Amino acid sequence: MAFQILLNFFLAFVWMFLKSSYTPASFFVGYFFGLLIIYVFRRFFDSRFYLVRVNAVAVLFLLFIKELFLANWSVLKLVLRPKLNIKPGIFALPTELKKDWEITVLANLITLTPGTLVVDVSFDNKTLYIHAMDIEDINEAVDSIKNSFEKAIMEVSR
Amino acid sequence: MKTNDLILQTVSKVILFLIVLFSLYMFFAGHYHPGGGFVGGLMTSGAIVLMLLAYDIKTVTTILPVDYKKMIAVGLLFAAGTAAGGLLFGVPFLTHAFTYVDLPLLGKTSLHTAVLFDTGVYLVVIGVTMTIIQTIGESE
């Protein structure tokens, strides 16, 4: 991916030299043509076309914003309720993510969406221990994290 | 004799894109500077030939799953379509129109229908060259 972005920048600069106009506009035109060429020859590289990954990062960011709003809303409802009727608890989340930064991002996303909080990561990096403010069903909580955040992170790093 | 083409393959991974970019520059320079659809198309097919030299035909067809014969047909359609487009406006066959448009990034740009005709030339040249080279290369 890094190679493709570097190549795209390089092509944009070559385009500026060919046109002998060193303006941002000609840089963007060159970048666009470079992007087009790299897209046509995308099977030439070992990794995926890099815009797919850029798109996956954007999807992950939007997902985070959405979850942040929804979770804060649910916490607001819990706080305003006259009777405190919650079941707190700690559960283990087995994760398939391998790299250090993936696990860090997953842990941060879980912590930043209120209601859940990462307490610890096991020594073999395969399990996250999560404190939840209100668990109705452990399997449901595990599934919802797995299907949203873990899937989106995998989409970025694949 | 089987040799290791590692250096050729790695270098062609960068050079190829430079050649294609230069061919695009040639293609768009055609109206005011030397260049145009013919030399641009030849240079693009030159880049594909470089890929054919560095790899084999099978790899290249998986990288670029393009039917070059259809490419010729599409190119001819482009050329004939732009030529016939003039008839719709009551002017003779092959009459070209142009206008100045303020594009957001490029500023004042003149858009010609001649570019569409040139695109047809570009596609036909790539299609013909690649068909010739592939047909000769595949026959034993």
What is the tens place of the pLDDT at every residue in B15-37?
999 999 999 999 988 888 888 88
Distance CA B26, CA B33 (A): 8
Topology (CATH level 3) of domain A56-157: TATA-Binding Protein (3.30.310)
The helix/strand count (H/E) of chain B reads as 5, 2
A147 in Cβ contact with A106 (< 8 Å): no
pTM over 0.90: no
Query: A93: which 2 tokens?
Result: 């989340």
pLDDT tens across A30-68, in order? Answer: 999 999 999 988 888 888 888 888 999 999 899 888 888
* CA dist A5 → A32, A38, A54, B17, B68 (Å): 12, 10, 11, 13, 29
Contact of B21 with chain A, judged by CB distance below 8 Å, is answered with yes
pLDDT tens across B65-118, in order? Answer: 889 999 999 999 999 998 888 888 888 888 888 878 777 777 777 788 888 899
In this complex, the residue of B14, B21, B51 whose CB is nearest that of residue A33 is: B21
Query: Which segments of chain A belong to CATH 3.30.310?
Result: 56-157
**Domain boundaries, given as residue ranges, for chain B:** 6-139
Mean pLDDT, all residues of chain A:
85
CB contact under 8 A, A18 and B25: yes
Residue with tokens 């695109």, as numbered in its chain:
B119
Contact of A9 with chain B, judged by CB distance below 8 Å, is answered with no
Closest CA in chain A for residue B107: A25
In this complex, the residue of A7, A25, A28 whose CB is nearest that of residue B17 is: A7
CB contact under 8 A, B21 and A37: yes
Residue A23 is given by DSSP the state S
